[in-house]
Amino acid sequence: MITLRKSSERGYADHGWLKSFHSFSFADYHDPAHMGVGNLRVINEDRIAPGTGFGTHGHRDMEIVSYVLEGALAHRDSMGNGATVGKADGVIRPGDVQRMSAGTGVMHSEFNHAKDQATHFLQIWIQPSHRGIAPGYEQKRFDDAAKRGRLALVASPDGREGSVTVHADAWLRAGLFDGDERAQLALDPQRLAYVFVARGSLRVNGQALAAGDAATLSGEQRLVIDGGQVAEVLVFDLAT
């Protein structure tokens, strides 16, 4: 079964400096029918105005993945990333995937230091397999060539294929599709797949999706992506 959700059906918040679309219930947006898919709890599509950002705030017991589409996002945290020599510089740009394991608790901030360009990124929260783990941070780059016409593994429980490691039963792939480019992925029908179109348009098992649209697949054995028009897509393989 494939369940579609259009971009226009998402929650939306305009804070002036931040414009955010919520795929699932978040903050003041609450929809009991859309609390997440499997252990995927949050996908926020955020646009941060130049010279603004999220001040220091805390998280715990959540795997947080950031995926930048345009601009840059400067991250700083209580583990020393973005602040201390020898730690990661904390700046993520298009092509980078950042994973922060909040675990027992971490404080962090995210900021757009550009003077004339908004930062457009996806904030993704996945519920961890175990609570109370030590906080952690990881950042890796996946250039366009790695994602062109294929679904590149960018996050996984075991870090295989050079992906970042999430402490959750979740696999995240990213791909770029245009023209005749096509990819397929075998699915376990006992699990859930969630496809989110970050930009452009494409087909998921023959069904058309545009930017901001999503498809949840349950009981399916195969995912086919084709018909892309300057498309960037994220595909999640999730525990039920």
Identify the burial level of 49 via C-beta atoms within 10 angstroms of its C-beta, where 0-12 means exposed, 13-18 middle and 19 or more buried: middle
Q: Residue 96: which CATH number?
A: 2.60.120.10
pLDDT tens for 211-234 read 999 999 999 999 999 999 999 999
Domain count, the chain: 1
CA atoms of 49 and 120, how far apart (whole Å): 9
pLDDT tens for 133-148 read 999 999 999 999 999 9
pLDDT tens for 6-53 read 999 999 999 999 999 999 999 999 999 999 999 999 999 999 999 999
Query: What pLDDT score was predicted for residue 89?
Result: 76
CA atoms of 153 and 125, how far apart (whole Å): 17
Domain, as residue range, for 233: 2-238
